[in-house]
Amino acid sequence: MPRAPLASDIDTDVAIIGAGYSGLSAAHALHERGVRAVVLDANPVGWGASGRNGGVVSSKFRLSFPAIERMHGLEAARTMHRLAHDGVRMVERLIDEFKLENARFEHTGSLRCAHTERALQGIRAEADWVRTQLGDTSMSVLSRAETQHETGSKAFVGSVLSADAGTILPLHYVRGMADGLTQRNVAIHENTSVLDMHRLDGGAGAILRTPNATVRAKQVIVGTNAYSNLTPATSDYQRELVPFRSAMIATARLSPELDARLMANRRSYTETRRMMKWFRKVDGRMLFGGRDAFGKEGQTTGFDALQRAMAGLFPELADVPVEYQWSGYVGMTFNSLPHVGRSDDVTTFCLGYNGAGIAMASLLGQHAAALALGERPELFAAGFSRARSRAVSFVARAGGSPRRCVVPVPRRRRGMMSIANRILSGQGTSVIARSDPFRQYQRREDRTMWLLMTPALVVIVLLLVVPLVWLSWQSIWNHGFTLANYERVFTGVYLDTFLLTFKLSFIVTVITLLLGYPVAYLAASVSPRFSTLILGMVILPFWTSVLVRTYAWLVLLQRTGVVNKLLMASGLTDHPLQLGYNQIGTVIAMVHILLPFMVLPLYSAMQKIPANLSHAGASLGGSPLHVFLRVFLPLSMSGVIAGVTLVFILCLGFYITPELMGGGKSVMVSMVVSRNVEIYNSWGAASAVSVVLLVCVFAIFYAASRVVPLEKTLGAK
């Protein structure tokens, strides 16, 4: 059923952003109460996770019920257990009410398959805990043989069957809900992105601007989940989630023999590996999914990995072609529980279903509608409560003492919003009328700023700009304009010197990065006391002159030095090695001197990385290596770029260490400049070499700023 984009301004009681399970369920609840609602979505209904998921309707959360009890208390675990099963009941109710037979909901249960004995012990203990503490007898443990009979795979040692679960065709479900609401005159506008949202003063509502019209609403419900970044008005909510790419493949129709042998009971199936896979059959095809589809949409890496994993569990499917593949994003939260609550007096949100959104989004959409109307749903009465103006708290009482877990929600720039609201409501003229005193104050501030900056600007002009201009002039003037000096730079020994300088600079930079990254990582990971100790050891060499440190390396690396004595004593060599007065000694000394310049930018970037991001990656099933490569390393790249840029540029102009350690065999650009001035008195050639080197430095800095923003390269953020 086509749903046109919003074309004209409208007023409504509640505006709902997001036409997935959450938004449509909220619209259903509001319609039942006789409240006007309009649903807006940047794409067609079901375009996001509501239409791309694996179709598993489950009565669970990502966080197990025993884990919820440990973190929040037994009463909280009971509440969440009841909510999980209420979610399944809500799906059944909506299917029955909207007559969604084509959604093909089957209450067949779900099977969690253990890949090791240890994993089986864990899920068996969880099932026992749920039975004894929560009185739920719907979970049963299956043996290896029973699991093999259920799945048709020999890869599992046992499993746990949860009876209160099922499967569904997710796209038919969400579109069927939308069609049913449209037939009840609930307005749903597809391809209508909410560009911005202005909250009116005094909690009077909000104005939502779309590409072609505006919506004035008393309340707003945000149900955009992992796709919150699609609409500018909801992009702040993306910060509360980890959008995790999930992928699925569907094979060609299986042969009658395979179809009868594999998963004959048509349940949904998951495994216990950290990077979990799930699978089920639809129309005689195998559907196989997983959440290790790293990379961007359109890349095939995740699909290829899924096909290999499927063949590992079901070798008979190795030659069955894959006919369909797709991916999307799952909204994961940092505490592995869904979030619902109020951002302010106008906005309600529900998001973060952690891969179990069909049932829970269908339920929490109803609760979000109740919150928007000022009601206190059973969910909140049982354990959720409003904490502060910018947070929602989950409160559970265990043994008489409250436990509190604050779930942050997006902060709003209230000052900016209030000015925008006054302008929208016709009060902007009063703001402008009072602007003259402010402008006078601003002019005084500008004068003060320039007065304070003048001494620094004078120093920069006299000691940097003027010498650079003089240097450039010297390079092109010799009793008249000439480019002869630049021709010399790009030929013969000058060109070889530039190439050697870049080669040694590259080697030193790579070595300092390889040595400095682990040191910075350790300093950023340990307690402040040990971090200070590590950084102190890194900074300590700064207190010693570069000249002294270079001579120290000459002593250590000489043929009778400590290093050669240790090498011969250990049997690695039977004669002294030539470690000084060559490129080897030059590189060693330069690495030692420049290592702090690599460690400090790396540490600065690493300590700004929130620790909970790595914890979230681990909770999503990532191994320590995966979490490091996919989470920590990309976030530390600003420090890597800053450190690499700083060390490489310093290498290009290094003079004392190559001069002393090189023994004339490591002639770098700085030494050529010095010799042209001191020995040959050729200021023109020295100036040309210096100008070319300066251009190289600017080019490197510009290239670095294209990869990482300038302020991050400089360590400002």
489: domain CATH number is 1.10.3720.10
Residues 490-515 as b or e (16 or more Cβ within 10 Å = b) = eeeebeebbebbbebbebbbebbbee
**Residue 424 and residue 503 in one domain:** no
First to last CA, the chain: 49
CB 621 within 8 A of CB 275: yes
Summarised one tens digit per residue, pLDDT across range 122-167 is: 999 999 999 999 999 999 999 999 999 999 999 999 999 999 999 9
Q: Quick check: 475 pLDDT over 90?
A: no
Q: What whole-number distance in Å separates Cα of residue 291 and Cα of residue 621?
A: 9
Residues 319-335 as b or e (16 or more Cβ within 10 Å = b) = ebebeebebbbbbbbbb
- According to the model, what pLDDT value does residue 387 have? 31
What is the CB neighbour count within 10 angstroms for residue 475?
Answer: 24
Residue 588 DSSP symbol = H
What is the token pair recorded at 412? Answer: 């709003």
| HSE-up (13 A, CA, CB side) for residue 569 | 7
**Residue 616 and residue 691 in one domain:** yes
462 found inside a domain = no
585 found inside a domain = yes
More confident residue, 429 or 359: 359
CB 240 within 8 A of CB 43: no
Q: What whole-number distance in Å separates Cα of residue 77 and Cα of residue 81?
A: 6
Summarised one tens digit per residue, pLDDT across range 409-467 is: 333 333 323 322 322 333 333 233 333 444 554 566 667 778 888 898 899 889 888 98
**Residue 530 and residue 609 in one domain:** yes
CB 642 within 8 A of CB 712: yes
267 found inside a domain = no
- According to the model, what pLDDT value does residue 716 have? 47
**Residue 234 and residue 346 in one domain:** yes
Q: What whole-number distance in Å separates Cα of residue 502 and Cα of residue 264?
A: 65
Which residues are registered as beta bridge partners of 327? 247
What is the token pair recorded at 530? Answer: 């040990």
**Residue 503 and residue 650 in one domain:** yes
Which residues are registered as beta bridge partners of 219? 14
323 found inside a domain = no
**Residue 484 and residue 419 in one domain:** no
**Residue 406 and residue 509 in one domain:** no
352 found inside a domain = yes
538 found inside a domain = yes
pLDDT-derived band of residue 621, with 50, 70 and 90 as boundaries? low
Summarised one tens digit per residue, pLDDT across range 485-516 is: 888 888 778 888 899 999 999 999 999 999 99
Cα dihedral 268, 272, 274, 277, rounded to 10, equals: -30
Find the domain containing 422 and state its range: 1-105+167-241+336-428
**Residue 495 and residue 380 in one domain:** no
**Residue 423 and residue 514 in one domain:** no
Q: What whole-number distance in Å separates Cα of residue 368 and Cα of residue 83?
A: 14
**Model's pTM, two decimal places?**
0.61
- According to the model, what pLDDT value does residue 251 have? 96
How far is residue 580 from each of residues 499, 594, 652, measured CA to CA in Å?
A: 22, 18, 20
Q: Which of 387, 406, 428 is the last residue of a domain?
A: 428
What is the token pair recorded at 188? Answer: 């749903």
**Residue 402 and residue 490 in one domain:** no
CATH code of the domain in which 97 resides: 3.50.50.60
Q: Which of 393, 410, 428 is the last residue of a domain?
A: 428
What is the token pair recorded at 58? Answer: 């489950």
Q: Which of 428, 444, 461 is the last residue of a domain?
A: 428
Cα dihedral 697, 699, 703, 709, rounded to 10, equals: 70
441 found inside a domain = no
Say how many domains are in the chain: 2
**Residue 579 and residue 671 in one domain:** yes
- According to the model, what pLDDT value does residue 409 have? 35
How far is residue 293 from each of residues 208, 335, 375, 400, 538, measured CA to CA in Å?
A: 35, 22, 40, 45, 39
Q: What whole-number distance in Å separates Cα of residue 36 and Cα of residue 362?
A: 19
Q: Quick check: 69 pLDDT over 80?
A: yes
Quote the percentage of the chain above a pLDDT of 70: 86
**Residue 526 and residue 390 in one domain:** no
Pairing mode of beta strands 139-142, 214-222: unpaired
In the numeric block, the tokens 């799906």 are attached to 91
Q: What whole-number distance in Å separates Cα of residue 130 and Cα of residue 81?
A: 9
265 found inside a domain = no
- According to the model, what pLDDT value does residue 443 have? 62
